[in-house]
Amino acid sequence: MKDFSRLEKKIQVKFKNPDLLRQAFVHRSYINENPQFELQHNERLEFLGDAVLELVVTEYLYNDYPNPEGELTNWRASLVNSHMLAKSARELGLETYLFLSKGEAKDTNVKARNYILANAFEALIGAIYLDGGYKPSKAFIEKILIPQLPNILSNKLYQDPKSQFQEMAQEKTGVTPHYKVLKESGPDHAKKFQVGVYLSDELVATSTGTSKQEAQVKAAASALKKKNWG
């Protein structure tokens, strides 16, 4: 039995309608396996929460930073992306409250679970908004998510590693990095790509991913560390 009263204490939100809180954690797979369950899945709440999250973060950035629109857009994107939301969800222990199918619950794919957690985090915001309005939603986001912003800004996390490595490489060496696929492995439905990032003929770093783009981003992140440019 999931004790949602503990979660209410942790997030400092007391729900008038506890079913809204529970619904925020119901994954579609659970409903497919338990069609008689009294609640719907969380996708509509997620849709609402996504909009509330974007408004709160936009308002905060607009009021607190005089930077141009392009910079604020990048900062917002880095604060509300699925990686950051999943991280915040894990820190709150939200995984414990998920309603998942047996198959989904056993799945050890971290990427897939992070996606589910990020969606649940947005659904939770949607539930807080429906239950209590804008004020508690804003308070929750400002307490849980906004404190991540200084770290994003000081470490330039709003730049993806490829952009950051290119900027640093051009600044320090005058060379634009390029990427090569060094190896492909695995069946078509589960391919892995090993990619190298080069400065002229120098192979700076390699990495592997489930797509060429993912491998390139990882290789760039590794190259930043190797060059001590991060």
The sheet that has 202-209: what strands, in order across it? 178-185, 192-199, 202-209
CA gap 222, 212 in Å, rounded? 15
Q: What is the pLDDT of residue 47?
A: 97
Q: In the 3-class helix/strand/coil scheme, how is the chain assigned residue by residue? A: CCCHHHHHHHHCCCCCCHHHHHHCCECHHHHHHCCCCCCCCCHHHHHHHHHHHHHHHHHHHHHHCCCCHHHHHHHHHHHHCHHHHHHHHHHCCHHHHCECCHHHHHCCCHHHHHHHHHHHHHHHHHHHHHHHCHHHHHHHHHHHCHHHHHHHHHCCCCCCHHHHHHHHHHHHHCCCCEEEEEEEECCHHHCEEEEEEEECCEEEEEEEECCHHHHHHHHHHHHHHHCCCC
- List the end-to-end C-alpha distance of the chain, in Å, as a whole number: 45
* In the chain, domain spans: 4-154, 161-226
- pTM attached to this predicted model: 0.75
Letter string b/e over residues 134-168, b meaning 16 or more CB atoms within 10 A of that residue's CB: eebbbbbbeebbbebbeebeeeebbbbbbebbbeb
CB atoms within 10 A of CB 31: 18
> Of these residues, 46, 104, 122, 131, which one is catalytic?
122
Please list the pLDDT of the chain residue by residue as tens digits (230 residues). Answer: 799 999 999 999 999 999 999 999 999 999 999 999 999 999 999 999 999 999 999 999 999 999 999 889 889 988 998 889 999 999 999 999 999 999 999 988 888 899 999 999 999 999 999 999 999 999 999 999 999 999 989 887 787 788 889 888 998 999 999 999 999 998 888 889 999 999 999 999 999 998 898 899 899 999 999 999 86
Q: Which amino acid is at 35?
A: P
Q: What is the pLDDT of residue 230?
A: 62
User: C-alpha angle 191/193/194, rounded to 5°?
Assistant: 150
Return the CATH fold of 161-226.
Double Stranded RNA Binding Domain (3.30.160)
Q: What is the pLDDT of residue 155?
A: 80
> Of these residues, 46, 50, 104, 131, which one is catalytic?
50
Residue written as token pair 């004020």: 135
For residue 43, indicate whether it is catalytic: no
Return the CATH fold of 4-154.
Ribonuclease iii, N-terminal Endonuclease Domain; Chain A (1.10.1520)
Q: Which amino acid is at 14?
A: K
CA gap 152, 146 in Å, rounded? 10
The reply to whether 4-154 and 161-226 are identical in fold is: no
For residue 122, indicate whether it is catalytic: yes
CA gap 41, 51 in Å, rounded? 18
